[in-house]
Chains A and B, each alone.
Chain A
Amino acid sequence: DTGVSQNPRHKITKRGQNVTFRCDPISEHNRLYWYRQTLGQGPEFLTYFQNEAQLEKSRLLSDRFSAERPKGSFSTLEIQRTEQGDSAMYLCASSSTGGASHGVNYGYTFGSGTRLTVV
């Protein structure tokens, strides 16, 4: 499978629990992005990595959220002490810089997302 893979597809958790999502990007893509999408809205940017470096975090990403990309391959997004407002679709996308270290943006390939429901 050469696409972006996200696991799990669905997660139901009780308020206050911690959850972790995983994203496996396209192997030759060095950029990886996390977005959050609620019903009827466009995806909202959360954070992105170039290789293993986390280069930008949105103000939406409270200190309960943490993302990692060890070794520059897969990434995890952890939400601690979940709240009902965290219920959303969490989308991962990857892209290539086309060999350039900066200055070039290409289209994203998105995964199918992880739908989180906090009850």
Chain B
Amino acid sequence: SQQGEEDPQALSIQEGENATMNCSYKTSINNLQWYRQNSGRGLVHLILIRSNEREKHSGRLRVTLDTSKKSSSLLITASRAADTASYFCATDAEGTYKYIFGTGTRLKVLA
């Protein structure tokens, strides 16, 4: 079963625009992560945010976490064609040591 759900399922933007993806989850968590997956490839870890953190930055990525709403967002600023990929959030429920992935957002950045 999927713990998280990303929204929107698909997103198409022009190069240079910002892309925002949202993730909602169901149970209390220790951490939330975002991953990127290019078509037919493995997943690449982007950023991990702990349940006691509210915001984290890494390069052009900004992640927020609202544990009261059980939601997170991933913002990619100044998008590039190379950002075209599927993006997944993953959460580890309290007391567990595994991450459960959401259904993903397919991002297409048009040059």
**Residues in A lying within 8 Å of B, measured CB to CB:** 4, 31, 33, 35, 40-45, 48, 50, 55-56, 89, 91, 93, 102, 105-113, 115
Contacts and interface: CB of A to CB of B under 8 A. Distances in A.
6 contacts: A33-B98, A42-B2, A48-B97, A56-B98, A110-B45, A113-B41
A112 B42 contact: yes
Interface of B: 2, 4, 30-31, 33, 35, 40-45, 48, 88, 90, 92, 96-104
Contact of B97 (A35, A55, A91, A93): A55
Given A105-B92, A106-B48, A107-B48, A45 B100 contact: yes
A102 B95 CA distance: 9
Contacts of B98: 33, 45, 48, 56
Given A42-B101, A42-B104, A105 B30 contact: yes
A103 to B, nearest CB: 9
